[in-house]
Amino acid sequence: MNKLPVIIDTDPGIDDAVAIAAALYSPELDVKLLTTVCGNVSVEKTTRNALQLMTFWQQSVPVARGAAAPLLRPARDAASVHGESGMAGYHFEPAQYNTIDKPAFQAIYDCLMASDTAMTIVTIGPLTNIALLLTQYPECKSRIKRVVMMGGSSGRGNLTPTAEFNMAVDPEAAAHVFNSGLDIVMCGLDVTNRAILTPEYLARLPVLNRTGKMLHDIFSHYRSGSMETGLRMHDLTAIAFLVRPALFRTQACFVAVETQGEYTSGTTVVDIEQHSGKSANAEVALDIDVAGFQKWVADVLALAP
Ligand code: RIB
Ligand code: CA
């Protein structure tokens, strides 16, 4: 099978951790680079978490540290959802690896230029690194097959009434990416709020394998849903789209990211009914086969050590 080479830009993050597990152990994917960004917690912590995950799985995927703050705004975190460490609940061994000696946007550029095929970038955190990449190296767009992101919403938000966290942390970066002309797939809250792991499945995780035990421990501290009612797998949904696109219904839409609103900055304005007269700039995931998603998750996590 020809594996799809991917770069993952991430802010681990408990749902990032399970998304990275699925990416590493999906037979369809070849994770070439992991880049970290300030998001759920500081970039110091998201980078430490990424390195500890690579150590946990003894994976030598290069990790490059990214932006320490949004392009213009002060950082906002989600420690209330992921814990102060960003991956509360499990005692990870100290990382055996260091980051590579270049910033994330540079590492992404170098990875793109070294690849003999255009690459897919999966973003599961704020888009700061991607905006920096496009600003510094606009010519690299031809080397990007598409950006598959967890972010946004055609309806309500989860950081503000109308804005989803990844978009709301750095609206200027998000606007830059949506205005870039790149092929974008937006897996927003419309589908990720429904991408639930059930209490019954969560209860089986500790005996699945070493990864299942670790995930169960950190899931116990994850506050997007609950162990009793089910946990929302926001970032894992973006990986699911990559390897099981048939689980999703998407629509080509014009998407604008609000950057000026007093109450609405970071809102993804998704023009589903084409009122704007503007051309579509994203494929927006509007529906998900939840049972199919849950089966895929069970299958792929069973492949982990
Ligand atoms: O809104 C959910 C997103 O914000 C996920 O990427 C989660 O990890 C947080 O970063
Ligand atoms: Ca994330």
Residue 216 appears among annotated catalytic residues: no
Closest ligand 1 atom, CA of 224? 2
Q: Ligand 1: which of 49, 156, 166 to mutate, judged by most atoms within 8 Å of the beta carbon?
A: 166
**81 in contact with ligand 1, CB cutoff 6 A:** no
Expressed in angstroms and rounded, the spacing between residue 128 Cα and the centre of ligand 1 is: 14
DSSP structural state of residue 17: H
The whole-number pLDDT of residue 31 equals: 98
Q: Measured between alpha carbons, how far is 69 from 135 in angstroms, rounded to an integer? A: 16
In sequence order, the β-bridge partners of residue 115 are none
CATH of the domain at 131: 3.90.245.10
Within the chain, where are the H helices? 14-25, 43-56, 79-82, 104-114, 128-136, 165-169, 171-178, 189-192, 199-204, 210-219, 234-243, 290-301
Q: How many CA atoms lie within 13 A of 117 on its CB side?
A: 13
192 CA closest ligand 1 atom index: 2
* Cβ–Cβ < 8 Å for 188, 285: yes
pLDDT < 50 positions in the chain: none
**Active-site entry in 82, 176, 216, 234:** 234
Q: Is 301 in the pocket of ligand 1 (CB under 6 A)?
A: no
Q: Dig out the tokens for 16 from the structure.
A: 């990032």
Q: How far is the CA of 226 from the centre of ligand 1 (A)?
A: 15
> Which of these, 125, 124, 147, lies nearest to 134 by C-alpha position?
147
The answer to whether 104 touches 67, Cβ cutoff 8 Å, is yes
274-278: Cβ within 8 A, 24+ apart: 278/254
DSSP 302: T
Joined together, the tokens standing for residue 20 give 């990275």
Cβ(12) to ligand 1 under 6 A?
no
Q: How far apart are CA 254 and CA 149, in angstroms?
A: 16
The phi and psi torsions of 145 (rounded to 5 degrees) equal -65, -50
Q: Is the dihedral of CA 4, 218, 83, 91 positive or negative?
A: negative
Q: Cβ(125) to ligand 1 under 6 A?
A: yes
Contact 38, 46 (CB under 8 A): yes
Any residues with CB less than 8 A from the CB of 278 and at least 6 apart, and which?
254, 256, 271
Query: Domain containing 260: what range?
Result: 4-301
Q: Is residue 149 within 6 Å of ligand 1 at its C-beta?
A: no
Cα dihedral across residues 168, 290, 245, 50: positive or negative: positive
Q: Give the Å distance between the CA of 184 and the centre of ligand 1.
A: 18
Q: Give the per-residue pLDDT at 1.
A: 77
Number of domains in the chain: 1
**CA-based nearest residue to 133, from 113, 152, 116:** 113
Is the CB of 166 inside a 6 Å radius of any atom of ligand 1? yes
H/E segment holding residue 123: strand 119-123
